[in-house]
Amino acid sequence: MGMEIKARDLIAAGWREDARMGMVLKRARELEATGLDRAGVLAALEADFPKLALRAELRSTPAGCSEAIAAETPAEIASVAASRARMLELLHVPVIKRGALMPDTCPAGAGIATIPVGGAIEVENALLPGAHSADICCSMFASFFADNRPVGELMDHLWASTHFGAGGRPRGKQFYSTLLEEPVWDNPFLAGLQGRAREFLGTQGDGNHFAYVGRIEFTPDQHRAIARAGDTDLAAAIERREGGFHVLVTHHGSRALGANVYKHGMIEARAWMRQNATSIPEAAAWLPADSREGRDYWAALQFVARWTRVNHALIHDEFLHRVGLRPLAQLGNEHNFVWQRGDAFYHGKGATPAWRDAKGRPLLGLIPLNMAREILIVLGGDNDEFLSFCPHGAGRNLSRKAMLAPYRDAEGDIDPARVKQVLAETTGGLDIRWFNGAPDLSETPLGYKDASKVKEQIERFQLASVVGEIHPLGCIMAGQAAEPPWLQKKREKRAAHKAARREWTTENEE
């Protein structure tokens, strides 16, 4: 009689060393005990426990990446180099077929294979939660309306209509939509999130999310381009208004609902990686799109997209209701999402869809640049070389921390007089409001890349064509979150100390 069959024999014969190995070995020994020879044992075992496909591994050479970028200054060059490095790491992942970097690219984090902002990938049969990022469906939405009130009055109504900051709306101020009644809550990625979905409706959150009021005058050429592209609703509204509108534009994502779906998606994707892949970076973990988990995740993403659009629309409804008007046209787009086109899954992190829809019409998109600049309305260029995406904004050259560093004193404080001066220089004449009270310099135009260069690159690389420019009148941003009381005390103590030191120096100099 030969040696008892061992796990290593099974591994050598092609079974995986995974959670099933104990059961596979037990069965092999049972078969062996029936008197079968080794070949017979392995053949019978295959019927009970089919060998699973080999573990997925990183490719030795990355998939191709196209760059629609013209970096010029040292800061731009360094930022693009960091984005490119992360994208190249990601492109070693075997399910990714191609990648593209947009003019607004900048790193979204230093973790290996973290998709950069302004990054897009074409993927075969897989969903990568990391590649749409935690803020699933971060998106733009615009309502065109007819009005001639002073902007301050409109901004007061907008202030009363929206909600920024952490958390949801308090009870009694919550919004409602029939969307909450959709039979989706059995989906494992959405289970337990119905309360969050209700609480966070009508909220915009923190960071660079904003509510912006502007003015647009479509030119006859732009009107013709929109009509030719088949956007009949917008074209008809332009005709009725002879091109002129006020516009409300909001920017935000799926709030706590999406953040929780993402978190759960990541947990499942990492679990799948542990069973089926080797050495795939965390940021690139995926779920096979045709698996049960993949199908559930896909369905959850579609709900998150519907929820986010309703979230924008409810804020717009509330504002328009307050000012006693109706929207004459509306449009919007996600820029952090996964879209299926044919058999491929296109993931975008800060990338605007710029392809043609099922009827062959180029998609309309909104590209914000900064609070003091126009928001571009674009028609997709459907440029396959860049996976048919265009940028989603201007992007940053420096992280928020690095951007703010030169404004901080030795104690890390920023002089409020300096902030006031910078705001006057960069946003003078506009009605800029900060929901949390204090301005955030990293959210002023100084925080972003040169908007004119990004605009020029959209044209140069034929990513999209600009068919409208919404010029700024006012903008609400979240601003600096309220300081916790302990931090406030510490800051006040430091300010008192500084004042005393100044007084002492002046007295001793006199």
The residues of the shown chain that bind ligand LQESDW3C, judged by CB under 6 A, are 104, 117, 138, 208, 210, 212, 335, 350, 368-371, 375, 392-395, 443, 448, 475, 477
8 Å CB contact between 1 and 33: no
Token digits of residue 141: 């939405």
Is 252 annotated in a binding site? The answer is no
Sign of CA dihedral 318, 324, 327, 332: negative
Nearer to ligand LQESDW3C among residue 106 and residue 314 (C-beta) = 106
User: Do the beta carbons of residue 389 and residue 65 sit within 8 Å?
Assistant: no
Distance CA 185, CA 56 (A): 32
| Interacting partner of 448 out of Mn ion, ligand LQESDW3C, none (Cβ under 5 to 8 A depending on kind) | ligand LQESDW3C
| Cα 466 from Cα 222, distance rounded (Å) | 8
Q: Provide CB contacts within 8 A for 406, sequence distance 6+.
A: none
Q: Which residue is nearest to Mn ion (CB)?
A: 138
Active site residue 163: no
For ligand LQESDW3C, the closer of residues 99 and 350 by Cβ is: 350
Q: State the nearest-atom distance from the C-beta of 271 to Mn ion, in Å.
A: 29
Residues in the chain: 510
Give me the least distance between CB of 335 and Mn ion, in Å please.
6
Separation CA 315–CA 321 (nearest Å)? 10
Query: Is 251 known to sit in a ligand binding site?
Result: yes
CB of 222 within 8 A of CB of 244? no
Residue 294 or 365: which CB sits closer to ligand LQESDW3C? 365
CB of 478 to ligand LQESDW3C, least distance (A): 10
125 marked ligand binding residue: no
Closer CB to Mn ion, 87 or 138, in the complex: 138
Interatomic CA distance for residues 475 and 472, integer angstroms: 8
Q: Quote the least distance from Cβ 208 to ligand LQESDW3C, whole Å.
A: 4
Q: For residue 426, which phi and psi values (nearest 5 degrees)?
A: -100, -20
β-bridge mates for residue 431, sequence order = 474
The residue sitting closest to ligand LQESDW3C, measured at its beta carbon, is 393
Instruction: Tell me if 273 is assigned to a ligand binding site.
Output: no
By a kind-dependent CB cut-off of 5 to 8 A, residue 119 interacts, out of ligand LQESDW3C, Mn ion, none, with none
Biggest distance spanned by C-alpha atoms of the chain:
106
Instruction: Collapse the DSSP code of 413 into the 3-class scheme (helix H, G, I; strand E, B; otherwise coil) and give the result.
Output: coil
Report which secondary-structure segment, H or E, holds 471.
Answer: strand 464-477
Annotated binding residue at 336?
A: yes
* Closest C-alpha to 377, from 474, 243, 210: 243
What are the residues binding Mn ion (CB under 5 A)? 138
321 is in an annotated binding site: no
Kindly tell me which of 138 and 477 has the beta carbon lying closer to Mn ion. 138
Shortest CB 166 distance to Mn ion, Å: 17
Angstrom distance (rounded) from CA 342 to CA 333: 20
Closest C-alpha to 284, from 133, 490, 441, 424: 133
Residue 374 CB, nearest distance to ligand LQESDW3C (Å)? 8
The site partner of 189 among ligand LQESDW3C, Mn ion, none (C-beta below 5 to 8 Å per kind) is none
Question: Shortest approach of Mn ion to residue 251 CB, angstroms?
Answer: 6
Query: Residue 114 touches which of Mn ion, ligand LQESDW3C, none (CB < 5 to 8 A by kind)?
Result: none
Q: Report the residue number, 213 or 367, with the smaller CB distance to Mn ion.
A: 367
Phi, psi of 475 (to 5 degrees): -155, 135
- Which residue among the candidates 132, 321, 392, 471 is catalytic per the annotation? 392
Q: Residue 326 to residues 151, 319, 446: CA-CA distances in angstroms?
A: 17, 10, 35
Q: What single DSSP character describes residue 406?
A: G
116 backbone dihedrals φ, ψ, rounded to 5°? -75, 160
d(CA 94, CA 90): 9
According to the annotation, is 371 in a ligand binding site?
yes
Q: Which does 208 bind (CB under 5 to 8 A by kind): ligand LQESDW3C, Mn ion, none?
A: ligand LQESDW3C
> Is 209 one of the annotated binding-site residues?
yes
Q: Which is nearer to ligand LQESDW3C, 212 or 435 (CB)?
A: 212
Are 262 and 136 within 8 A, CB to CB? Answer: yes
289 binds, among ligand LQESDW3C, Mn ion, none (CB under 5 to 8 A by kind): none
Which among Mn ion, ligand LQESDW3C, none contacts residue 431 (Cβ within 5 to 8 A by kind)?
Answer: none
Q: Is 208 annotated as a binding residue?
A: no
Residues within the annotated binding site?
209, 251, 335-336, 368-371, 392-395
Residue numbers in the known binding site for Mn(2+) are 209, 251, 335
Residues annotated as part of the active site: 392
